[in-house]
Structure 1
């Protein structure tokens, strides 16, 4: 059976830390599906379709990485994809507390799903999408934190 992992998030924007989790996830899974979810509680900073295109471009040579967008419960999308794993990155204990609750609810929705946590590589730990958005909003170049260039995009 093919081991498919869904890596869900708003990815607003998708960072080098996220890219690192996907690449490391490919060592564990046959396929990683990056799922850009539409979070009703968040107003997007970067347009969804633009981010999908930029992420697809980052992984154009990785045949085992796919990128989708969705507007549903993550666990239901995982079931539709045949994904038995959710892939998540943890930067710190605050991330763990937040992700732990979500993983319990995902198991409630889809009993066969397992959440796999990867600890963020140390040099990516201080990077967060919200910090990058704030820097970008005020005119700071953020390309060093991203696996693509916003200046060229």
Structure 2
């Protein structure tokens, strides 16, 4: 079985190694890709159908019915903003659909505040060899496919 993981934001897909944070760039939390977001106020959408199991203004995890969990992190070190500039549209425990709005933010504003707005999208508790059809160095719209996760 394969799980399609969609982009939470519009932008340019880059390798995790491009993320200016060793936890992500060295895939310590799991494999995936990152999206360099378009610099305008926009909605961040769920990458998969599932349940919001972790929810912070700057990051969230959606777990599918069969237990696949995808982490979306909005910018690097943005936890230091304490939610400033992020507007949540769901609550923890809510069922969501791929492409459904989770957060609204402004990557340009995040960048102006001194933070890298890049968005890692991570397959938690997975190994790199289970990701296929990985989009790299391409422009995507929100909810376009980033990779397939063989389950």
Higher CA-based Rg: 1
Q: Output the TM-score relative to the length of structure 1.
A: 0.27
More helix by share: 1
Q: TM-score normalised to the size of structure 2? A: 0.27
In proportion to residue count, which structure has more strand? Answer: 2
